Structure 1
């Protein structure tokens, strides 16, 4: 190296001319910042490769595991917070701008449940010299309650979804399905990062099921999905509950879900002269199968979603009984499952002439053969 004719302003040593190894300052050719005019010994005497904080505090929700970042809570789905600590430390560390070819690694040391020491090893090339540095950053895990969990704990809600049924009480299975539909909808919203999605409370009442939901939009979405799954419809009713700080009226909305009068698997008699019907579907207007003939049935426009009919039983009431004889294309003889007397009953299209036993349901309308697939089937 040649001599530059310049001297270190700190120690007075003449600086060797190796300008290519030092970063140029943005002021133009030949101009350098205060550190760049120092000799190597003085430069490295106070050089720090890494700028690290004395300590990092990580705020986590003790209920849901969310992490507070910036001015909001973020769901991270972490089971332990070591990875979170590594990420937070990595973002907080700074490497000197003069360093090139930088490599680094972070090794966590778990001190206890809420304290982690992060051993950070860095290396890089500065002024043609390989330098390395190790820093230890303590990380404190501060367990708190996020806004969302605080709202849930405080019973906050904006909507109520009421699950009822037309002229009957919803079954335990229907109530369970409605709750599963609501929980699945909320889970989908949470997966998109929506922290306003939650169910505050689920209550069974004599008339059905009540669910308190975080927002009106969530309540409407849940009500729609329940009716898509179980049939029926819903209406909404607003109730003024308070005013916000700006004087705007705040409403709570009740979404009243009304499940269909009948459910799939019920045997009903519309008393139209053509005999009982096995209900197959209640989505939209009622659809089913005539037990006397096996023909398809669909409620007419005049009947609305369902006709006025007598309930005769359900597919769960079916009993296997013995086939005595096939009389002709319209009649078959079977044993009454209660009296064991031979009875001649209608032979529907789905009747299997090779069967030794068939499922039958007995009601005030008499004995009727059920389709084999109806005994353990759900809605189509």
Structure 2
């Protein structure tokens, strides 16, 4: 570094040392004015502000869920207090001088009350080869409000409805409980991806089934599909125009009507025909099961449809353990009637265990039948 001939500080009159030739590289003078470049280092640092500090920083926080507003969106931070959030907000609000190099800072928060924090920060950096230190205090205000998501929830907002019904019957308590679980699982999956618009607005039992109001069409569609995947059945959807958005685009609310199958696994169904009752194994797609008279597998044909006409005469859980008296032949076996305790001859299905002393049986309007073991 050398003092250029005739170059003196306009403030104090001392010679100004300036880099020459290759030494000019890396000095970062592109962000300074001509007057600043003419000042000596001592006079330059007298006017130098290492950081640009705002008078106050405000952090907008949702009073209901604790989300923090950043930029143009709300973010779930999962904070018990907002000290770290305040530090981040101050970091974003501060501006460090472009001439400073190797800048580091330490911060000590002071909690004034529940909504006010003072951030005491000390900055160090290098300017013109000299170490510079500056201490500042930034007041931070925690402003409570309502985020978009909580505002929609409190306003009973919803974009889709999933209706859970069943063909020819009412859904069971187990089916409706599982439907709600599936809806909660879908919402949790969406929330895990950062979707703050995922929520269940309302679950209500109605005549003949269950209605669930959901926040988006995407969630409603996925819940309906997952219900059919688990229980079988089919989905019908319909749209209703509800409003227009601020850009004039039409906004529709979609209803997904989930029709659960007429039967469900474990039902014993007396179908029209001479084949005898069927223990239902699966209702996904077409009905599948086993004939309780012969033990032969059963599958509904295309002509019969997914769920043929018939009546439920009992369920697997209605079965009672009955004593085996004697095996008559390959088609018949004697067992004790669970109601009269008399010996009865019944059909011997293929799944009957010849070494069994007791077997599960179901007595119904269709007769007395041996059911498969567990």
TM-score by structure 1 length? 0.87
Aligned partner of 2:4 in structure 1 is 4
Aligned partner of 2:342 in structure 1 is 341
Distance change in 2, residues 1:131/1:257 (3 Å): same
Of residues 242-251 and 150-159 in structure 1, the stretch that sits farther from structure 2 once superposed is 242-251
Structure 1 gaps, min length 5: 374-380
| Matched position secondary structure for 1:252 | strand
Of residues 355-364 and 150-159 in structure 1, the stretch that sits farther from structure 2 once superposed is 355-364
Counterpart CA distance in 2 for 1:321 and 1:121 is 85
Aligned partner of 1:49 in structure 2 is 50
Distance change in 2, residues 1:358/1:138 (3 Å): farther
- Please state how far the C-alpha of 1:46 moved relative to its aligned partner: 2.5
- Please state how far the C-alpha of 1:179 moved relative to its aligned partner: 1.5
Do the aligned partners of 2:28 and 2:99 also contact (CA within 8 Å) in 1? no
Residues 49-76 of structure 1 deviation map (CA, whole Å, 9 limit, x = unaligned): 2222222111122223322122232334
Aligned partner of 2:300 in structure 1 is 299
- The aligned runs of 1:195-206 (5 Å cut-off) are 195-206=196-207
Residues 174-204 of structure 1 deviation map (CA, whole Å, 9 limit, x = unaligned): 1111122222222222333333332211111
Counterpart CA distance in 1 for 2:72 and 2:275 is 68
Of residues 308-317 and 36-45 in structure 1, the stretch that sits farther from structure 2 once superposed is 36-45
| Matched position secondary structure for 1:288 | strand
Counterpart CA distance in 2 for 1:344 and 1:121 is 95
Counterpart CA distance in 2 for 1:129 and 1:298 is 88
- The aligned runs of 1:122-137 (5 Å cut-off) are 122-137=123-138
Aligned partner of 1:71 in structure 2 is 72
Of residues 278-287 and 109-118 in structure 1, the stretch that sits farther from structure 2 once superposed is 109-118
Do the aligned partners of 2:264 and 2:282 also contact (CA within 8 Å) in 1? yes
- The aligned runs of 1:116-265 (5 Å cut-off) are 116-242=117-243, 250-265=251-266
Tell me how large the CA RMSD over aligned residues is: 2.6
Do the aligned partners of 1:332 and 1:346 also contact (CA within 8 Å) in 2? yes
Counterpart CA distance in 1 for 2:357 and 2:114 is 68
Distance change in 2, residues 1:37/1:295 (3 Å): farther
Counterpart CA distance in 2 for 1:287 and 1:349 is 17
Do the aligned partners of 2:262 and 2:307 also contact (CA within 8 Å) in 1? yes
- Please state how far the C-alpha of 1:209 moved relative to its aligned partner: 0.5
User: Does residue 23 of structure 1 match 2:27?
Assistant: yes
- Please state how far the C-alpha of 1:299 moved relative to its aligned partner: 0.7
Residues 237-273 of structure 1 deviation map (CA, whole Å, 9 limit, x = unaligned): 3334455567665443322211111111111111321
Counterpart CA distance in 2 for 1:181 and 1:106 is 46
Counterpart CA distance in 1 for 2:371 and 2:82 is 59
Number of matched pairs: 370
- The aligned runs of 1:319-334 (5 Å cut-off) are 319-334=320-335
| Matched position secondary structure for 1:103 | strand
Counterpart CA distance in 2 for 1:115 and 1:309 is 71
Distance change in 2, residues 1:249/1:93 (3 Å): closer
- Please state how far the C-alpha of 1:23 moved relative to its aligned partner: 1.9
- Please state how far the C-alpha of 1:218 moved relative to its aligned partner: 3.1
| Matched position secondary structure for 1:202 | strand
Counterpart CA distance in 2 for 1:48 and 1:292 is 94
Distance change in 2, residues 1:285/1:123 (3 Å): same
Of residues 223-232 and 345-354 in structure 1, the stretch that sits farther from structure 2 once superposed is 345-354
